[in-house]
Amino acid sequence: MLTRLCLVAGLLLCVEATKHPPMASTSPKPTPTPLSLADFYRIYFHREDLNNDGVQTLSEFEQLWRQADLNGDGSVDLREYTSIGPSTMLMASEVYKYLDHDHNGVITLQEIPRMFTQFDTNYDGWITEQEFVDEKIRIFNLVTKNIGLGKK
Window 72-91: contact mask with Ca ion (x via CB under 5 A): -x-x----------------
Would you count residue 53 as binding Ca ion (CB under 5 A)? yes
Q: How many CB atoms lie within 10 A of CB 87?
A: 20
- Comparing CB distances to Ca ion, the nearer of 129 and 134 is 129
Q: Of 78, 74, 71, nearest to 108 (Cα)?
A: 74
d(CA 54, CA 91): 27
Would you count residue 51 as binding Ca ion (CB under 5 A)? yes
* Nearest distance, CB of residue 111 and Ca ion, angstroms: 5
Q: How many CB atoms lie within 10 A of CB 61?
A: 20
* Nearest distance, CB of residue 151 and Ca ion, angstroms: 28
Would you count residue 124 as binding Ca ion (CB under 5 A)? no
Among 104, 110, 117, 130, binds Ca ion (CB under 5 A): 104
> Residue 2: beta bridge partners?
none
Stretch that binds Ca ion, among 70-78, 88-96, 115-123, 124-132 (CB under 5 A): 70-78
Angle at 6 between CA 4 and CA 11, to 5 degrees: 175
To the nearest 10°, report the CA torsion of 108, 149, 47, 130: 100
* Nearest distance, CB of residue 72 and Ca ion, angstroms: 7
Which residues contact Ca ion (rule: CB under 5 A)?
49, 51, 53, 69, 71, 73, 75, 100, 102, 104
